[in-house]
Structure 1
Amino acid sequence: MKSKLSFSVMFFSIGLLLILFSPAARAGERTRQERPVPMGVSGGNVNNRQLFRGCCSGTLGAVLTTANGLAILSNNHIFGRYFDGSIGEDISQVGIADIGCRTVPADFIAQVSAVVPVDFGGGENVIDAAIAATSPDLVRDDGFILNIGIPSSSVVEPAIGMGVKKSGRTTGLTFGTIAAIGVTVNVQAAQPCGVVDGIARFVNQIRISPGSFLAGGDSGALMVEDADECPRVVGLVFAGSIAAGIANPITPVLEAFGAQLVGCPAGATRQLPIGEFTRNHPKVAAVLEVQKKYRSLIDIPEVIGTGVGLSKDGQPVLEVYLENNRMDLEEFFPKTLDGIAIALVETGPFEMF
């Protein structure tokens, strides 16, 4: 039964969202590195290939300390072969996508040691993450990231409007702005190296603009605040589009592995002011409550996600992400829900490519 939610709303277009590790992307200077290797460079599972479809690689994101020693952080779909890998598989630097899908034992620098499963059966996911055990003779034990330097060992909560940066395999060092937090989104799995075919729902994600912030092959990159020295860590990049990026918040990533970031000692740099609108800001919290109350919005066929962004006058609004900018959809959405403004954002389908 069609329910009518009448109104007129703002439309934004941010393009098609994709899981970011494309075999066609170019790595440039970020291919093979001298040992011990920095982060922010090409890497991935040496078995991440499919017959007649090619091979895939991504970005080595960060160095962590775990109960078992040093580990490299990236995405499950990078280290875990798109959710089809096994513990103990080798991770190489350079990634095989950058050397014609060849396997070179001298490139092996780590072994997959833990992954967080991704639920494609209707459950909610928070992170797409995996780690691989390594040693200081193979990986820099100070956490150095190419073109960023040594990140902080401390984290900072994402805030709407916060300036961020990342260093990735394909686009290198790029800068962006957090456009939305508390993002819930349906992401489809469909790409050359994977065997999973389905939709995974991710919650409490971060949306970043502009689209040039990242591209295919940047998945697994660490996202930090835009500070010149010892930047605090914000998130882990895992998906994007021609006009936006998506990252997991870093805190649940670290908690999943019982790990700590390797980097500058906490408090070693001045505490930079962060954006006003974090999850705890009263106005953001009010939008999050409405998002929770109307969580069934995402079950409307045209809707693929929701999040907390800013209106044109800089106030928190509930964003509703649509596959297509169809003006007739205005008839089905109110311009407010429980007093909270609604903004329709055209994204195209979110895909793992």
Structure 2
Amino acid sequence: MRDDTLLKALYAWAIRYAILADVAMRDAVSLAGDPNSIPFTPEQAAYFKTRKIVKIASTSRGKTTVYTIATRLPIARRKREALSATFASAFQGENVLLEVVVLKPFKVDQQVQGTYNPVYLHNDRIACGSSLGLGNQRNAGTLTALARHQETSKLLGISCNHVTGGCNTAGVGTPIVVPGILDVSPDNHEITVIGLHDSTGSMSQGLPQVFDIADNCDIAFFELTDQNLLTSMQGQGADAYDTPSNFARIREGMTVKKWGRSTDLTRGEITRIVNEPESIEYNVVSYYGPTSSQVFKGTVYYPQLYEVESIGVEPFSAGGDSGALVVSDHDDAPKIVGILIGGNTSKSYVLPLRSVLKRHQLDLVGGVNI
């Protein structure tokens, strides 16, 4: 049996039993395999009902082809061993093996890339995209945008919860500073308090099968100490642009851009719209006193995310870009896509903002001190 034939058969088998996650359907849609050639029983297929298969792949190890079924959640060891034994027995003599693994979640921590240009200025005011952080801890992220409350008309600042909210552990009133403390150095020795931590969005742990994750969002808000310190412009120089107030119509293949603390202005493409629970693993320490701290460590599921890959050699984002406002990249005016909550050399995750802002009665604003 040819390798590609067996791979197609595994996908077809997963589709038959409705155990393939939506994210894997894109890989399977163009395949036409024979599910009857897969030896697993209906009881064995049921192992994946709540775990969901997110990817099926094959690799060569010498003369042996290893097929890997990656699941969203772990499957008990004895069940994994039973699947592998059944597979090996059915294809005995064909030099094939099966492994069942759990797909490791995307990780967010306080590791950031080295100091680049931590503060962007426009008309001598601090622009969005600049480095910021909590005033009592050594971190750095990105200033997302300015927003106005629909009822009070109060102007607020926005970034990620894990940047300025300490993953729900920062005390109300904690100073928000530019640049983030991690970026303070002899070359960047001026620290500006731009706001005071006010509130966060929901960011709760719990499996989506037993907990309503609909409101989960990695976002925090702070009151401005002096709005004359800031501008709604994103970045600086000839490529700067004002924060948009309208939302883009999202589609796969859409080109996007962002200004961030670590990688400046980058462009990318939305390669996947994740419309099912996606997990991100956090490991963040928040200091709420000179000798007191609290660790937020665990997995948070989000109901929808956009996966973005870079256009070009450099990655779309890096550590320290968390909080960057991602917008559409077209000839006309940019429109809101979402907030960047994490990235690595291969991909970045962007959280949609429309429902989050609506829930908190906020509108992103442009035209501030431009």
State the TM bucket, normalised to the shorter chain: 0.5 to 0.7
- The one-letter code of the counterpart of 1:26 is G
Relative contact order higher in (CA < 8 Å, ≥ 6 apart):
1
In terms of Rg, which structure is larger?
Answer: 2
Q: Are 1:63 and 2:146 matched, yes or no?
A: yes
Of 118, 127, 138, the residue aligned with 1:30 is 118
Contact 1:115 1:131 in 2 (8 A): yes
User: Within 5 A, what are the aligned runs for 1:258-273?
Assistant: 258-263=361-366
Query: SS of the counterpart of 2:354?
Result: helix
User: Within 5 A, what are the aligned runs for 1:196-207?
Assistant: 196-207=296-307
Please report how far the alpha carbon of residue 100 of structure 1 lies from its aligned counterpart in structure 2 after TM superposition. Answer: 5.5
Please report how far the alpha carbon of residue 121 of structure 1 lies from its aligned counterpart in structure 2 after TM superposition. Answer: 3.0
Q: 1:76, 1:63 → 2: CA distance? A: 15
User: Within 5 A, what are the aligned runs for 1:112-261?
Assistant: 112-122=197-207, 123=211, 124=213, 125-134=215-224, 135-140=226-231, 142-146=232-236, 147-181=239-273, 182-191=275-284, 195-210=295-310, 212-228=315-331, 230-261=333-364
TM, length-normalised to structure 2: 0.61
User: Within 5 A, what are the aligned runs for 1:64-103?
Assistant: 64-66=147-149, 67-99=152-184
Please report how far the alpha carbon of residue 114 of structure 1 lies from its aligned counterpart in structure 2 after TM superposition. Answer: 2.1
Which residue does the alignment assign to 1:324?
A: none
Q: 1:133, 1:260 → 2: CA distance? A: 15
Contact 2:115 2:262 in 1 (8 A): yes
Query: SS of the counterpart of 1:29?
Result: coil
Please report how far the alpha carbon of residue 170 of structure 1 lies from its aligned counterpart in structure 2 after TM superposition. Answer: 0.2
Please report how far the alpha carbon of residue 87 of structure 1 lies from its aligned counterpart in structure 2 after TM superposition. Answer: 1.7
Distance verdict in 2 for CA 1:161–1:43, change over 3 Å: same
Distance verdict in 2 for CA 1:20–1:175, change over 3 Å: farther
Distance verdict in 2 for CA 1:148–1:2, change over 3 Å: farther
Query: SS of the counterpart of 1:190?
Result: strand
Distance verdict in 2 for CA 1:148–1:18, change over 3 Å: farther
- The one-letter code of the counterpart of 1:246 is Y
Q: 1:136, 1:113 → 2: CA distance? A: 15
Contact 2:305 2:350 in 1 (8 A): yes
Q: 1:232, 1:152 → 2: CA distance? A: 5
Aligned pairs, number: 255
Contact 1:163 1:176 in 2 (8 A): yes
Query: SS of the counterpart of 1:253?
Result: helix
Please report how far the alpha carbon of residue 106 of structure 1 lies from its aligned counterpart in structure 2 after TM superposition. Answer: 4.9
Distance verdict in 2 for CA 1:33–1:82, change over 3 Å: farther
Q: 1:183, 1:148 → 2: CA distance? A: 34
Query: SS of the counterpart of 1:196?
Result: strand
Distance verdict in 2 for CA 1:133–1:180, change over 3 Å: same
Contact 1:22 1:57 in 2 (8 A): no
Contact 1:20 1:238 in 2 (8 A): no
Root mean square deviation of aligned Cα: 3.3
**Structure 1 runs of 4+ with >4 Å offset:** 8-16, 32-35, 191-194
Which residue does the alignment assign to 2:45?
A: 3
Which residue does the alignment assign to 2:128?
A: 39
Contact 2:308 2:348 in 1 (8 A): yes
Query: SS of the counterpart of 2:129?
Result: coil
Distance verdict in 2 for CA 1:228–1:16, change over 3 Å: farther
Contact 2:118 2:183 in 1 (8 A): no
Which residue does the alignment assign to 1:293?
A: none
Please report how far the alpha carbon of residue 143 of structure 1 lies from its aligned counterpart in structure 2 after TM superposition. Answer: 4.0
Q: 1:229, 1:37 → 2: CA distance? A: 25
Contact 1:44 1:79 in 2 (8 A): yes
Please report how far the alpha carbon of residue 195 of structure 1 lies from its aligned counterpart in structure 2 after TM superposition. Answer: 0.6
Query: SS of the counterpart of 2:306?
Result: strand
Query: SS of the counterpart of 1:79?
Result: helix
Q: Choose between structure 1 and 2: higher helix proportion.
A: 2
Distance verdict in 2 for CA 1:112–1:223, change over 3 Å: same
Contact 1:223 1:237 in 2 (8 A): yes
Q: 1:27, 1:228 → 2: CA distance? A: 31
Contact 2:117 2:262 in 1 (8 A): no
Distance verdict in 2 for CA 1:116–1:93, change over 3 Å: same
